[in-house]
């Protein structure tokens, strides 16, 4: 969704994921919309991060917007939640974002000016703001990693502002994706009932916020955590106190 929206706004987009075949499928879908390149890398591996940054510096020539989007979830009852599951999720959702952001600074700095800063956009989650119940299973690592990511966003924003790099996070509610296939299939009604707007998000609603953060209009927004969740994270459902019976 984000890649397509940025391409349509004239950005040269480099998409990254571990599986080359998924990258190739995405390239076929995205190519009609603009200049897009794919690179397969596991962002939890230091070697792969280094190769990616070398590719961006040497082959692409610059990096002005880094979107930390890769993420994963793990659901299990508390008593059965394995340490390796917790570590895996925190590693992808938080540790890798820290490492990749840190190592991207030289390239981002090169692309940055005071009036047009380079941007880091972290994809957090409304689950880093509230405690989710709708999936009916514990997602302890996910919620902790996303809350950590939100606060890391603020710490990096303060640190990197003077280098003309802004750091913000988008905290989405439910959007259709591979990650949400299972919960949409089983709990769509609950998801909609939990949302004051009574629905899940649409692609353009994520594209809009990312395009804003990446654009001239977003240049003075720094350290913000922006929920795009129809109000779900601040609500106990769509009923107001006025209609209690
Ligand atoms: N969809 C939602 O409702 C929702 C709500 C809130 C937040 N989010 C956040 O949005 C982001 C995208 O999620 P999604 O819903 O699009 O999930 P998704 O369909 O599961 O996509 C996750 C993406 O991350 C890539 N990835 C996972 N681990 C990786 C790694 N170690 N290195 C490189 N790439 C990796 C995956 O590709 P490979 O498997 O090929 O590596 C895939 O492209 C996540 O951070 C998620 O937490 C989503």
pLDDT digits (tens, 9 = 90+) for 6-62: 999 999 999 999 999 999 999 999 999 999 999 999 999 999 999 999 999 999 999
Question: What confidence category does residue 212 fall into, taking pLDDT thresholds of 50, 70 and 90?
Answer: very high
- Note the pLDDT of residue 84: 98
State how many domains the chain has. 1
- Note the pLDDT of residue 242: 63
Cross-strand partners of 119: 65, 166
Residue 117 sits in which domain range? 64-235
Q: What percentage of residues in the chain have a pLDDT greater than 90?
A: 94
Structural domain includes residue 167:
yes
pLDDT in tens, 120-160: 999 999 999 999 988 889 999 999 999 999 999 999 999 99
- Note the pLDDT of residue 170: 98
CATH of the domain at 163: 3.40.50.720
Q: Which two tokens stand for residue 31?
A: 């190519």
Structural domain includes residue 37:
no
Question: How far does residue 201's CA lie from ligand 1's centre (Å)?
Answer: 16
Q: Is 180 in the pocket of ligand 1 (CB under 6 A)?
A: yes
Rounded-to-integer distance, Cα 153 and Cα 138, Å: 25
Rounded-to-integer distance, Cα 89 and Cα 71, Å: 8
DSSP assignment string, 13-51:
EEEEES-HHHHHHHHHHHGGGS-EEEEE--TTSHHHHHH
Structural domain includes residue 54:
no
- Note the pLDDT of residue 135: 81
Question: What confidence category does residue 181 fall into, taking pLDDT thresholds of 50, 70 and 90?
Answer: very high
pLDDT in tens, 81-116: 999 999 999 999 999 999 999 999 999 999 999 999
Question: What confidence category does residue 164 fall into, taking pLDDT thresholds of 50, 70 and 90?
Answer: very high
Question: What confidence category does residue 245 fall into, taking pLDDT thresholds of 50, 70 and 90?
Answer: low
Probe residue for ligand 1, chosen from 1, 27, 71 as the CB with the greatest number of ligand atoms within 8 Å: 71
What are the residues whose beta carbons fall under 8 Å from the beta carbon of 146, sequence distance 6 or more? 93, 124, 125, 127, 128, 171
Question: How far does residue 157's CA lie from ligand 1's centre (Å)?
Answer: 23
Kindly report the average pLDDT of the chain as a whole number.
Answer: 96
Q: Is 141 in the pocket of ligand 1 (CB under 6 A)?
A: no
Query: Is 142 designated active site?
Result: yes
Structural domain includes residue 76:
yes
Q: Is 18 in the pocket of ligand 1 (CB under 6 A)?
A: yes
Question: What confidence category does residue 243 fall into, taking pLDDT thresholds of 50, 70 and 90?
Answer: low
Structural domain includes residue 33:
no
Structural domain includes residue 50:
no
Is pLDDT at 73 greater than 90 in this prediction? yes
Structural domain includes residue 9:
no
Structural domain includes residue 197:
yes
């Amino acid at each position: 969704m984000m890649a397509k929206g940025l391409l349509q706004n004239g950005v040269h987009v480099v998409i990254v994921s571990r599986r080359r075949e998924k990258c190739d499928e995405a390239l076929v879908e995205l190519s009609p919309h603009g200049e897009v390149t794919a690179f397969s890398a596991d962002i939890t591996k230091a070697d792969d991060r280094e190769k990616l940054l070398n590719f961006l510096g040497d082959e692409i020539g610059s990096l002005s917007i880094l979107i930390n989007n890769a993420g994963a979830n793990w659901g299990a009852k508390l008593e059965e939640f394995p340490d390796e599951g917790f570590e895996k999720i925190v590693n992808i959702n938080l540790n890798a974002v820290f490492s990749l952001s840190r190592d991207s600074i030289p390239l981002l700095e090169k692309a940055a000016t005071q009036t047009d800063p380079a941007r880091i956009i972290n994809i957090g989650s409304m689950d880093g703001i509230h405690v989710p119940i709708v999936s009916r299973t514990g997602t302890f690592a996910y919620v902790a990693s996303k809350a950590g990511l939100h606060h890391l966003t603020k710490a990096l924003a303060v640190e990197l502002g003077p280098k003309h790099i802004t750091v913000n996070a988008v905290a989405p509610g439910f959007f259709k994706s591979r990650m949400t296939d299972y919960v949409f299939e089983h709990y769509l009604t609950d998801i909609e009932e939990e949302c004051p707007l009574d629905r899940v998000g649409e692609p353009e609603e994520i594209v809009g916020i990312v395009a804003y953060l990446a654009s001239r209009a977003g240049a003075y927004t720094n350290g913000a955590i922006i929920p795009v969740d129809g109000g779900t994270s601040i609500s106990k459902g769509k009923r107001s106190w006025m209609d209690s019976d």
